[in-house]
Structure 1
Amino acid sequence: MGQALGCIQVDQSTVAITETFGKFDEVLEPACHCLPWNFGKQSAGLLSLRVQQLDVKCETKTKDNVFVNVVASIQYRALAEKAQDAFYKLSNTRAQIQSYVFDVIRASVPKLELDVVFEQKNDIAKAVEEELEKAMSHYGFEIVQILIVDIEPDERVKRAMNEINAAARMRVAANEKAEAEKILQIKRAEGDGELNQF
């Protein structure tokens, strides 16, 4: 419902922020509420308490000078008990979270070599989560979970890695083949030796 009759409906998992003559007044829980607009009371807006997800793609350089795109998935939500802070303190929550994620990833990944980045993606996610939790709690938000969902090296690096892996597999296959032929020759020689004894 609108405010034409001075009533608003606040849905589940949402809170409404009210102001009286432009000053914060109270946080309204889910229900139907009457706001005496003729006394200057009005709804400033709604704040969702649902878990929201933000995917952040950050390009950075590893210790061994490889450019990688790190994709982090951040799940966060506004806290009902800090709804005033969540509504008034930040104008763009997503941009603020993105800035912190960029900062932590660009501080962590350059210390690691490419192979180690893949192995320590959980440690990177934990570092991002700790930093974000510390920063965003002041603004009325809780960080639910952070996942590093993708680490993608530059296309040329990917091709080179695939070629290295293919060469290593071919080397192993050649060694196995040589070992098999060696065993075959030994068995032939043993067989010929047994024939000569008869």
Structure 2
Amino acid sequence: MPQSLSSTVESELLIKKSRFIGCVQPVPDRAAAQAIVASLKAQHPGAAHVCWALMAGGHSAAVDDGEPSGTAGKPMLEVLRHQDLEGVLATVVRYYGGIQLGAGGLVRAYTDCVAQALKNAVRVPIVKSKTLHCAVPYALEGMLRREIEAAGGALLDVQHSGDVEFAFSLAETSADALVAHLNEAGQGRIAWRDANAS
């Protein structure tokens, strides 16, 4: 199951006088990631490179920012992929220390910097939710509210008209079981509308 991170975690490595400042953090999308990278470049004007990798919303990115092609962004991205992370940005700011590390040394440095930050990161599972809509007689309103709450669902909207119209969301993995349970408890008096909406 894909996971994200609960908060930002940093790491720092010194390798042959080069300073690598790593960071992993949750991000919603590429635009947010690019804003963070731009901010890092502004904060570290003396840095030689600000490399980054992103896994978010089904999109990925790997940016070497002037390092030899494939020695920074791609290895960082592989760390995120290997750990099944989603909605995560990894950045490494490098201050060059005057000693070249070679391609293998760069790959190890960028990989280690991200991996070290991830060691201290708190992971959170990504739970996909589903939105359901139904109408019930007024007599079932209390029961439906209790069942939605017990299933960990969240009420999105309740309208009182001829019947009580509910819109609520809950974990996708719990939806089918709750619908079956409510159909039984409501004895066929619950009218579902576009139950497959998400």
Q: TM-score, normalised by structure 2?
A: 0.27
Q: Which has the higher contact order (CA 8 A, sep 6+)?
A: 2
Q: TM-score, normalised by structure 1?
A: 0.27
- Higher radius of gyration, 1 or 2: 1
